[in-house]
Amino acid sequence: MKNSVFGQKIYSFLLGLYRWYLRTPERSLDEAYNAALKIKELEDKHFNGNKIDPNLTLYSSNVMDYFQADLKQQLKIAKMRLTEFKSSRWFLNEVNQKAAHEAGVVYPELSLILEKLRFIDQVISKYNFNELKPNSLAIVDQTPNSQTNLTINQPVTPKLTNNVAPKPQGKANTTGILPRSILSTISRLQVELDPNSEQDVVQNFRQAQRRTIISIRFLLLLVIVPLLTHQLAKALIVGPLVEKFRDSETVQIFLNPEMEEEALVELERFEEKIKFQSLISNAPPLSTEEIEIQIQEKANEIAEEFREESANAIKNVFSDIFSVGAFIWLLLVSKPSITIIKEFFDNIVYGLSDSAKAFIIILFTDVFVGFHSPHGWEVILEGLSRHWGLPANRDFIFLFIATFPVILDTIFKYWIFRYLNRISPSAVATYHNMNE
């Protein structure tokens, strides 16, 4: 009996494996078709339905590198799956087709297969996979400052040859035998003597303008979307749920002992104020019953205020979760914008003068890791604790202040030593002189 069951399992496994083999042409064609769909989606979404070509877009070099990597991957999948489809169709003779029919494998109609093949050929025929180099889709992203002498310290990228740009090097790796200022001057003279330099300047200005608009819009979205999500979630979703499940009669008024202590201090101050006004006024003194009535009314008022504050803290916790989710979602769906904003900040930071760089570095370090920074961190942590209704743990706050600014200062000094010292030694020297 056991041998019979084991034999049936082996037979079922082999039958399933055979069916998987017989479905190889259909599976390969579907994967190639999906790859072509992704390429078509990329063209429609970012290139207005046109071919992914640097001559038809104003994207920067890093953005085009991102598109190129995705395009190359999908083209590779489509080519391999088409080869697999052709090979498996060649091995699928009449005997195998009859066996597939007996095994319950139903192939799609011929018209559907031809339609998918026609769509795949229409998409991938526009690209030559063998000639697709890592930077063949990249364009040079030059700021107008490098062409119009607004920033002399930045090197100018040479003009393109045959619409193919050289691989842009990072700011920290632009080192050579001659000083960069001499190379920058020579490159600028070459550009000024070029008869087509005016067109290049206009094109580069449009690229810089587009980059600035995209960066500012994305920064506004990073601020507005989480704030708007927080308010909408708090008003429409979290607020009604908290009010529904939080009974105002039996619910705990204070979320932590600090709230209770604050309420007691306020009530004691009110009682002392009543007695003081009774002593200095010409009116007849209040009786003990009248004082107790006023204290009772004030206690009920304070209790209602802290009940609302506790409910608001609970709402803030869940609303902040929605805000963080919206922020992460915005980052995931905006990868090209993130690449553009990196270039935007790179051009701003490295385009500043040495004194401006030193001023920003000193301002940043004094605020976040300077002598007076512990007071600022203490205020921020206490504000966050009150925002979420948590007790302000003094030990945790002091431990955070003793470790995090030190770690941040170490990272910042490493950045100055590792990158800024190679990119702009004069800015580092200015920083040290101003800091002394």
pLDDT at 407 over 70: yes
36 with 124: CB under 8 angstroms? yes
What's the whole-model pTM score? 0.52
pLDDT at 113 over 50: yes
Check residue 55 and give its pLDDT: 63
CA separation for the pair 288, 233 (Å, rounded): 48
Query: Dihedral through CA 297, CA 313, CA 368, CA 410, nearest 10?
Result: 140
3-state secondary structure 124-136: HCCCCHHHCCCCC
Statement to judge: residues 329 and 357 lie in one domain? no
Asked whether residue 215 is assigned to any structural domain, the reply reads: no
Tokens of 323: 């805000």
64 with 54: CB under 8 angstroms? yes
Statement to judge: residues 122 and 18 lie in one domain? yes
N- to C-terminal Cα distance for the chain?
90
Statement to judge: residues 126 and 12 lie in one domain? yes
Question: When comparing pLDDT for 200 and 150, which is higher?
Answer: 200
Check residue 256 and give its pLDDT: 79
Residue the block writes with tokens 């799609």: 108
- Considering only CA atoms, give the Rg of the chain: 34
pLDDT in tens, 131-181: 444 443 333 333 333 333 333 333 334 344 344 444 444 444 445 555 656
Phi–psi pair at 139, nearest 5 degrees: -125, 155
Statement to judge: residues 294 and 414 lie in one domain? no
CA separation for the pair 331, 309 (Å, rounded): 32
Check residue 421 and give its pLDDT: 82
Kindly tell me the burial class for residue 36, based on how many C-beta atoms sit within 10 Å of its own C-beta (0-12, 13-18, 19 or more). Answer: buried
Tokens of 95: 């005997």
Check residue 287 and give its pLDDT: 78
Asked whether residue 384 is assigned to any structural domain, the reply reads: yes
Statement to judge: residues 6 and 125 lie in one domain? yes
Statement to judge: residues 39 and 125 lie in one domain? yes
Check residue 136 and give its pLDDT: 36
Write down which residue in 131, 163, 191 finishes a domain: 131
Asked whether residue 33 is assigned to any structural domain, the reply reads: yes
Using pLDDT thresholds of 50, 70 and 90, give the confidence band for residue 242.
confident
Asked whether residue 184 is assigned to any structural domain, the reply reads: no
Cα distances from 202 to residues 11, 198, 340, in angstroms, run 71, 6, 19
pLDDT in tens, 347-389: 887 778 888 888 888 888 888 887 778 888 888 998 888 888 8
Statement to judge: residues 374 and 299 lie in one domain? no
pLDDT at 229 over 90: yes
Using pLDDT thresholds of 50, 70 and 90, give the confidence band for residue 223.
very high
Statement to judge: residues 26 and 100 lie in one domain? yes
Query: How many domains does the structure of the chain reveal?
Result: 3
Q: Which residues of 364-386 are buried (b: 16+ CB within 10 A; e: fewer)?
A: ebeeebeeebbeebbeebeeebb
Statement to judge: residues 97 and 11 lie in one domain? yes
* pLDDT-above-70 percentage for the chain: 73
Range with the poorest average pLDDT among 4-8, 203-207, 422-426: 4-8
CA separation for the pair 330, 386 (Å, rounded): 28
Asked whether residue 315 is assigned to any structural domain, the reply reads: yes
Asked whether residue 226 is assigned to any structural domain, the reply reads: no
Write down which residue in 86, 101, 131 finishes a domain: 131
Q: What is the mean pLDDT of the chain?
A: 76
Asked whether residue 269 is assigned to any structural domain, the reply reads: yes
Tokens of 188: 């600028």
60 with 141: CB under 8 angstroms? yes
Check residue 385 and give its pLDDT: 87
Write down which residue in 110, 131, 152 finishes a domain: 131
pLDDT in tens, 287-322: 788 888 888 898 889 888 888 888 888 899 999 999
Q: Which residues of 65-82 are buried (b: 16+ CB within 10 A; e: fewer)?
A: bbbbeebbebbebbbebb
Check residue 156 and give its pLDDT: 38
Owning domain of residue 38:
2-131
Using pLDDT thresholds of 50, 70 and 90, give the confidence band for residue 200.
confident
Statement to judge: residues 322 and 400 lie in one domain? no
- Mean pLDDT for the stretch of residues 81-105: 63
Phi–psi pair at 161, nearest 5 degrees: -120, 120
Tokens of 100: 């597939």
Range with the poorest average pLDDT among 162-171, 193-202, 213-222, 364-373: 162-171
Contacts of 386 by beta carbon, 8 Å cutoff, 6+ apart: 313, 392
Range with the poorest average pLDDT among 253-257, 272-276, 338-342: 253-257
Statement to judge: residues 327 and 407 lie in one domain? no
Statement to judge: residues 305 and 386 lie in one domain? no
CA separation for the pair 330, 221 (Å, rounded): 8
- Give the HSE-up count for residue 268: Cα atoms under 13 Å, Cβ half-sphere: 6
Using pLDDT thresholds of 50, 70 and 90, give the confidence band for residue 232.
very high
pLDDT at 230 over 90: yes
Check residue 162 and give its pLDDT: 41
Check residue 157 and give its pLDDT: 40
Asked whether residue 289 is assigned to any structural domain, the reply reads: yes
Contacts of 276 by beta carbon, 8 Å cutoff, 6+ apart: none
* pLDDT-above-90 percentage for the chain: 8
Range with the poorest average pLDDT among 40-44, 135-139, 186-190, 381-385: 135-139
